[in-house]
Amino acid sequence: MSTTWHILGAGSLGTLWATRLARAGVPVRLILRDEARLASYQAAKGLTLVEQGAEHTYPVIGETPDSPEPIHRLLVACKAYDAQDAVAQLQHRLTPDAELILLQNGLGSQDAVAAQLPQARCIFASSTEGAFRDGDWRVVFAGHGYTWLGDASHPTPPLWLEDLHAAGIPHDWSTDILTRLWRKLALNCAINPLTVLYQCRNGELQAHHCEVATLCAELGELLECCGQPAAAQGLQHEVERVIHATAANYSSMFQDVAAGRRTEISYLLGYACQAATRHQLSLPHLQQLQVRLVEQLLARGLPRD
């Protein structure tokens, strides 16, 4: 019997992982905020995955953070701004050899969680899969993609990657996970804030070619300065490729703002600007972008962080 996967956060990615692992017969338990959420979940009788128009419900066992069972493996599937508090609630249940898989986008939250749990193994993940909720306890698998997992301090891949294989979760072990996370952060910084400011789909940024190029040049400088030269390689070309390939899509930040949800700005553009300040690097366009984005968020009554 393989080790149970505890999944923290029954949102889009948490549900996408929980349902596919459960479908493969891997033991999974879902950790919900409190008794009220647990009661709502139990009434729904499971998690529903909608894939290519077909839907299936998986009766994954739910529990609250107070459940007594020890946790050996924890998939942290909440937003970057919730990760630290959500993990802190479970700290007393983590075994000394616990492993955490951190699915958060951007940078900053992973180090904060790892610092909170010096004994645990924290595996960072970067995913291009796409999913959204179309109702409580339901997820639509919207975009097939790939997940890279890695541990900057231990290059050895864990044996449980076999569970992901069995579950049909496309993945690879990465020995340069920080480079991948920095690269994704740079892409998100060059695209997502502009889509919010211009209220447009990704493809419409082709009309703002010069602004995108200037941001890419500054992001490239930042990556070099932060010891991530590989993440800086051909950045502008890659950003233009993504803008073209996802032309019809709205960026995740655009979608968050449009739905009145808090954004992950502090772990994306905010993190980049802070890193520049730490290195005494002047990146005027990136810093101005942050000012404009914060103004836009505040004007919409959303948190600035």
Longest dimension (CA), the chain: 56
Q: Does residue 15 bind ligand KPL (CB under 6 A)?
A: no
Confirm if 174 and 150 have CB atoms less than 8 A apart. Answer: yes
Q: Using CB under 6 A, which of the segments 144-152, 206-214, 244-252, 278-286 binds ligand KPL?
A: 244-252
Is residue 79 flagged as an active site residue?
no
Say how many residues touch ligand KPL, by CB under 6 A: 9
Give the H/E segment covering residue 50. Answer: strand 47-51
CB of 32 vs ligand KPL, minimal distance in Å: 26
Q: Which listed residue (6, 73, 79, 138) binds ligand NAD by CB under 6 A?
A: 79
Q: Does residue 187 bind ligand KPL (CB under 6 A)?
A: yes
Q: Which listed residue (7, 10, 22, 113) binds ligand NAD by CB under 6 A?
A: 10
The backbone torsions φ and ψ at residue 39, rounded to the nearest 5 degrees and listed phi first, read -65, -40
Provide the H-helix boundaries in 45-176: 80-88, 109-116, 161-167
Q: Does residue 293 bind ligand KPL (CB under 6 A)?
A: no
Which of ligand KPL, ligand NAD, none has residue 47 at its interface (CB below 5 to 8 Å by kind)?
Answer: none
Residues sharing a CB contact under 8 Å with residue 277, sequence separation 6 or more, in sequence order: none
Q: Which listed residue (4, 12, 109, 192) binds ligand KPL by CB under 6 A?
A: 192
Q: Following DSSP, what letter does each residue of 189-222 receive, concatenated?
A: HHHHHHHHHTT--GGGGGGGHHHHHHHHHHHHHH
| Chain residues in the site for ligand NAD (CB under 6 A) | 8-14, 31-33, 77-80, 82, 85-86, 89, 103-105, 127, 129-131, 133, 264
